Structure 1
Amino acid sequence: MSFADKLNFLMTITKTSNSALAGRVSLDASYISRLRNGKRLMPKDAGVIHSMAANFARRCSEDYQKKAISDALKLTSLPDDNAALAEEIADWLLHDNSGGAERVGRFLSGLSGLGGRPAPARPQEDCILPFPHGDVSFYYGIEGKRRTAEYFLSEVAARENPQTLLLFSDEETSWMTADPEYARKWAELMARVLSKGNEIKIIHTISRDLDEMLSAISQWMPLYMSGNIEPYFYPKKRDGVFKKTLFIAPETAAVVSNSIGDQISLAANVLYRDPAVVASFTEEFLQYLRLCRPLMRIFTARDRDTFYDTLAEFEGERADTLIKTESLSILTMPENLLASIIRRSGIDASNHLSVHSARRRRFLESLETNHFTELIHLPDTVAVKNGGAKVAMSNILDGGTVFYTPEEYAAHMEQVITLLASCENYHVILIGRQKEDRYTVYAREEVGVIVAKTSQPPVVLAMGEGNMVAAFWDFLKGMAGEKTYANPDNKTAIASLHTYLKKLGDEI
């Protein structure tokens, strides 16, 4: 979170107005307002920050306030003493949270390294649990929770008719991961459930915290890549005391459990099979789902048309843009060059050219009002000569990567130079080779971000949650360099690209 986000959070949760805080720290209320919306940077005087923190600590008296601040500061327990709490708040306000870009980088590296979802292993007979008879069964503690989940998934996987599973749990999850053997079995059962055509709607337990969001996505990504999962999250704070699990297969069964805090060792886990009871819990889940928001949308190769629709909506918003692909953005590619590449590569041209034409039109229109900054790593000219330069996101089109010929790459680069010379809002920033670059990040400020895994098998994530968008935006801005991004130099970029093209021409 930025300083502005932290200040706004503290003022909101403690119900502190601009004028009230201004009076406490001897500043103008309009200045406080500008601090909150990010138009002014954090005051350099640490004494002002400590005075703010003392005010917030005094106003933190309700349980929900303490819970929210404890979660935000990542404290295991909140200090009872106001002075100690004020120190914690001041330290949080003063601390630079620039590590978000580093976390995004780690997430992207992990995403690129994911392979295809392995086919579920054939279960051994002694691993198949016969589904219990009767309308209700009770199981207790951690082993009971494991057995209940296994019964549930085994029965869903055994059925021929697919359905949409509804999953939510904010209970402690070590029962699922602590035992490697059980974790493997659980993953195999989930994979088998998805392989039978079942779909999943899951509500992740996160609280608008970047670490929690990226962690949730990373943990579920191997299963997300099936394309059969819709992830959601509840955007507001919960008390964190009363916790619940709902695993529901509307046509089969429901698993329900409750616990206090992280105490699940004696909790009852109930497996319901009575259709009326299952329908009741289904409605309970759906009511909660209506209060939630999509965490992201997931697209695989089979979702090409839906992805293009989402892309059109994304690119229709006017906003400054940062993009980093594996090579050159396809938005800057002339239509005749794309047509030539499609013919040469034997790609089915159906709607590709019309989609590209519409995207390029929106791109050129956006340059009239907004900045578009492209981060480019120039590949070794020998690699380009040998056909090693990828056409960006070509694997999303038809599931197979397409490479430039040297002449095609040079022609595309010439178009980039033309845009740099003719469009004052189009910029190129040259970057070094990244340790892991099998991804595309396409961010539009305060609008959304599209992340594409370009290693096989490809998958695209479309995200609109504010903290996620800001984190990926900061990641790209950090890759470009804050000063370089703020002061782009098109003339220098043009000169560098001309030098590169001359070297490439000498190699061909």
Structure 2
Amino acid sequence: MFGKKLDVLMKLLNVSNVELAKAVYIDPSYISKFRKGERKLPRNSEFLFDICDYLVSVAIEKNRLNLVKDLLACKEEKNLEEISMNMYEWLILKNSVAEIINKLIGDISEENFNTYKREEQKILDKSIEKVETKYYYGSQGNKNCIEDVIKAVLSSKTKNNVYWNLAQSDSSNFEIENYYFKYSELTRELVKNGRDVKLIFSDKDYHIQLIILLYNMLTLFMTRRITPYLCKNKKINTVNTMVVVDGEMTALEFSNYDDLDNRVSILTNEKGIIEYNKGLLDNYIRDSVLLINVVNYEDSENYQNIYSSIYGNEGRYFLIEGYFSFYTLPEETALKIDRENPNLNFWKTYVKARKGFISMLESNGGIEIFQIQNVQKYNILFSGRVIEYTKEDFKKHILEIIRLLKKYDNYELYGSENLRENVSITINENCGLIIESYNSSNKLIQITDHNLNKQFVKYTFNKIKNAKIKGKIEVINYLESLIK
């Protein structure tokens, strides 16, 4: 798939193998073999980014940038770095990031994340021989190395944390079954046996890696058995992959980019090497930021503060929600709901959210996507709960939304037919996003990372593109039809 896509781009831009090879400092025969499907996708993501940056520059030079943007489905994008990133995603992924996020949102809406379900062990079927230092070669050797270190961990009587550094691991590898195996099944084995895993990302495409892993191991993230960090320390890339278990075992992987299919991996329990690598990873975590925060709803003040971080900052906001948002209620209806639900602290949260919402409409504006539905029940979503209100309250709510649409030019609504009713996504394009799951576990996912944020903004625009109801007049007509 990679080779065919690269071939399409090069033909579109009339770029030869020699020209591309010269630009990224490799032999032209590599490019030829990629295009013919005779060579696997390279594992060095920096190499791929260089290809994308060069092809974008050629598209500008030959006045074909709009053709490239059409091919990549990023027609509205103007930032050249973003176009290059879109090209990178298009080249390496079987499914677009928007499609992966769409599946992820579906899983969040359907899962109950109270506990991680125990399964029958698949990997630990025998104990491993005591290892001092052992070397492994090639892709299969790398997989064997990772399996052996996990077996050694599971054979241990201690329950120490596992540190897993992911550096220069091309995102497409997470969609290749044999390669992905070590990040998925083996991580599940660690968690099932009482170990918590700290994932440390540092590569340029970490946000794509994390979204794919989040989709494939959602419950482990939601129950905080896996904690993802982003390290700002560029020196982390001295090795490709590093696994360290407190005081017990370390595995290192080195790639040879002169021969992209060749690699050497080392497994050792030598105390000096373990302590050195553990020290490195401790330093990396100190230089890292937490990428995903999972919050429960017991602390209502914390819930308000998280929402204030979205609506209390500059930048346009986006909301994808099956029902109409609670902060668009008229005040009298919000007060009534507060009286009827005294334990929810509804009014205080409403006032904060409403103030931030109006402030954003008066500045950068906001976009909301709602579910087109035949109204039989009248509900709003709030703090992990679905709250029912009366038909008369619903009518007042719709009239207030129509008033706001007419008053604020920056307020846009779109109607979609395929939203998840019990999931809400709130995004500030500058400072983060919140995903709420309205099921029995009442979990809220908070993400403040800018690159992850941008992927969800792209997902939102994909939803807007496919919306059934667009434009203020059409939306207002639809809303009026709901209350006739």
Into which bin does the TM-score normalised by the smaller protein fall?
0.5 to 0.7
Q: 1:253 is aligned with what amino acid?
A: E
Q: Are residues 1:311 and 2:307 paired? A: yes
SS at match of 1:259: strand
The 8 Å contact of residues 254 and 263 in structure 2, kept in 1 or not, is answered as no
Q: 2:368 is aligned with what amino acid?
A: E
Residues 92 and 372 of structure 1: is their aligned pair in 2 closer, same or farther, counting only changes over 3 Å?
Answer: closer
Alignment match of 1:358 (pick from 352, 364, 370): 352
Q: Are residues 1:260 and 2:255 paired? A: yes
Q: Aligned-pair distance for 1:233? A: 3.3
Q: Give deviations 1:342-367, integer Å, cap 9, x for gaps.
A: 5435x623x54323322221222222
- Structure 2 Cα separation of the partners of residues 154 and 412 of structure 1: 59
Alignment match of 1:295 (pick from 277, 283, 291): 291
- Structure 2 Cα separation of the partners of residues 241 and 411 of structure 1: 61
The 8 Å contact of residues 50 and 86 in structure 1, kept in 2 or not, is answered as no
SS at match of 2:381: coil
Alignment match of 2:218 (pick from 216, 221, 229): 221
- Structure 2 Cα separation of the partners of residues 465 and 309 of structure 1: 17
Gaps of 5+ in 2: 1-10, 28-41, 74-95
- Residue in 2 aligned with 1:476? 460
The 8 Å contact of residues 318 and 370 in structure 1, kept in 2 or not, is answered as yes
- TM-score relative to the length of structure 2: 0.68
The 8 Å contact of residues 427 and 434 in structure 2, kept in 1 or not, is answered as yes
- Residue in 1 aligned with 2:476? 494
Q: Are residues 1:152 and 2:153 paired? A: yes
Q: Aligned-pair distance for 1:284? A: 0.3
Alignment match of 1:434 (pick from 413, 418, 429): 418
Q: 1:391 is aligned with what amino acid?
A: I
Q: 1:120 is aligned with what amino acid?
A: R
Residues 211-290 of structure 1: matches in 2 within 5 Å? Answer: 211-234=208-231, 242-249=239-246, 252-261=247-256, 267-271=265-269, 274=271, 278-290=274-286
Q: Are residues 1:187 and 2:184 paired? A: no
- Structure 1 Cα separation of the partners of residues 248 and 23 of structure 2: 47
- Residue in 2 aligned with 1:20? none
Residues 106-185 of structure 1: matches in 2 within 5 Å? Answer: 106-116=103-113, 117-121=115-119, 141=141, 142-153=143-154, 155=156, 159=159, 165-170=162-167, 178=181
Residues 501 and 235 of structure 1: is their aligned pair in 2 closer, same or farther, counting only changes over 3 Å?
Answer: farther
Count how many residue pairs are aligned between Structure 1 and Structure 2: 417
Q: Aligned-pair distance for 1:434? A: 0.5
Q: Aligned-pair distance for 1:328? A: 0.9
The 8 Å contact of residues 438 and 455 in structure 1, kept in 2 or not, is answered as yes
- Structure 2 Cα separation of the partners of residues 119 and 154 of structure 1: 21
Q: 1:475 is aligned with what amino acid?
A: Y
- Residue in 2 aligned with 1:38? none
Alignment match of 1:71 (pick from 36, 41, 48): 48
Q: Are residues 1:201 and 2:206 paired? A: no
Q: 1:406 is aligned with what amino acid?
A: K
- Residue in 1 aligned with 2:433? 449
- TM-score relative to the length of structure 1: 0.65
- Structure 2 Cα separation of the partners of residues 183 and 375 of structure 1: 33
Q: Aligned-pair distance for 1:325? A: 0.8
Q: Aligned-pair distance for 1:442? A: 1.8
Residues 229 and 300 of structure 1: is their aligned pair in 2 closer, same or farther, counting only changes over 3 Å?
Answer: farther
The 8 Å contact of residues 116 and 220 in structure 2, kept in 1 or not, is answered as no
- Residue in 2 aligned with 1:369? 363
Q: Aligned-pair distance for 1:319? A: 1.5
Q: Are residues 1:459 and 2:454 paired? A: no
SS at match of 1:411: helix
The 8 Å contact of residues 148 and 269 in structure 1, kept in 2 or not, is answered as yes
Residues 129 and 470 of structure 1: is their aligned pair in 2 closer, same or farther, counting only changes over 3 Å?
Answer: same
SS at match of 1:402: strand
SS at match of 1:267: strand
- Structure 1 Cα separation of the partners of residues 335 and 155 of structure 2: 49
The 8 Å contact of residues 443 and 449 in structure 1, kept in 2 or not, is answered as yes
Residues 310 and 119 of structure 1: is their aligned pair in 2 closer, same or farther, counting only changes over 3 Å?
Answer: same
Q: 1:95 is aligned with what amino acid?
A: V
RMSD between aligned residues:
4.8
- Structure 1 Cα separation of the partners of residues 383 and 433 of structure 2: 19
The 8 Å contact of residues 100 and 210 in structure 1, kept in 2 or not, is answered as no
Rg larger in structure: 1
Alignment match of 2:340 (pick from 344, 364, 372): 344
Residues 318 and 340 of structure 1: is their aligned pair in 2 closer, same or farther, counting only changes over 3 Å?
Answer: same
Residues 183 and 466 of structure 1: is their aligned pair in 2 closer, same or farther, counting only changes over 3 Å?
Answer: closer
- Structure 2 Cα separation of the partners of residues 130 and 322 of structure 1: 51
Residues 279 and 404 of structure 1: is their aligned pair in 2 closer, same or farther, counting only changes over 3 Å?
Answer: farther
- Structure 2 Cα separation of the partners of residues 308 and 411 of structure 1: 25
- Structure 2 Cα separation of the partners of residues 284 and 461 of structure 1: 29
- Structure 2 Cα separation of the partners of residues 432 and 333 of structure 1: 21
- Residue in 2 aligned with 1:21? none
